[in-house]
Structure 1
């Protein structure tokens, strides 16, 4: 059994790729307003929002349990609309030696995009399950971001 792995998933959402990318690259602290049932808070520890090298802590609920994840924003690629987070502390490190979370937005028509999530990981031992529920969690957060943005749009008058 291999300890290293890579999992990917994507979901189409009605948010522009640029807007979705901006949320995770520059304004992750706003995700708690967009997905309050899943993300309670995002704190800045060092650096500046929207800059590689910035260290943040996510307070979130995963599988019904309150958890934290301390991450460094390892890379922001505005051309590819992707942001790479490297986990450096928190609950994820109790099961994983290494964990990177990459979120990329690909334009798909007017005002829509594909939110693509990649988890690259190395488990501490072979008894640790693959992070399927964490990947599902990311997809659900994407849908919450979509619902938040749709709710913010003015409705068309008949």
Structure 2
């Protein structure tokens, strides 16, 4: 059984790609306002909002319990509307040696297509693939898009 894994998912949203990208690249601390049931907070630990190398700490509720993930914003691509987060501490590293989350928003005629990629290395072959986490980020994307499109209407 392979210890390296990759899961991907697409979700269509009504929010414009540039606005969706801006949330993860520059304003991840606003996600708790947009998806409060899932994300309780995102704190700046080092660096500046909107800059590569910035360290953030997420407090979130997943699989029935509160979790923490400390992440480095490894890459921000404002041309392709992509942001890459690398987990450096927290609950995910109990089951995975390494974990990366990449979120990319691609403009469509109306709204955008949000593509999530989870890249990981399991600690052992008994570790499950993070399917529930992929579902979690897809649902967060829908919450964020709903918030962004509601803000446009007001």
| TM-score using structure 1 length | 0.95
Q: 1:153, CA displacement in angstroms?
A: 2.6
Q: 1:114, CA displacement in angstroms?
A: 0.4
Deviations along 1:50-74, whole A, 9 cap, x unmatched?
A: 0000000000000111000000000
Q: Do residues 97 (structure 1) and 80 (structure 2) align?
A: no
Q: Which residue number corresponds to residue 137 of structure 1?
A: 136
User: What is the Cα-based RMSD across aligned positions, in Å?
Assistant: 0.8
Q: Distance in 2 between matches of 1:152 and 1:54?
A: 27
- The SS at the match of 1:109 is coil
CA contact (8 A) 2:15 2:146 kept: no
Q: Which runs of 5+ in 1 are unaligned?
A: none
Q: Which runs of 5+ in 2 are unaligned?
A: none
Q: Distance in 2 between matches of 1:128 and 1:63?
A: 15
Which runs of at least 4 in structure 1 moved beyond 2 Å after TM superposition?
none
How many residues in Structure 1 have an aligned counterpart in Structure 2?
Answer: 154
| TM-score using structure 2 length | 0.98
Structure of higher CA gyration radius:
1
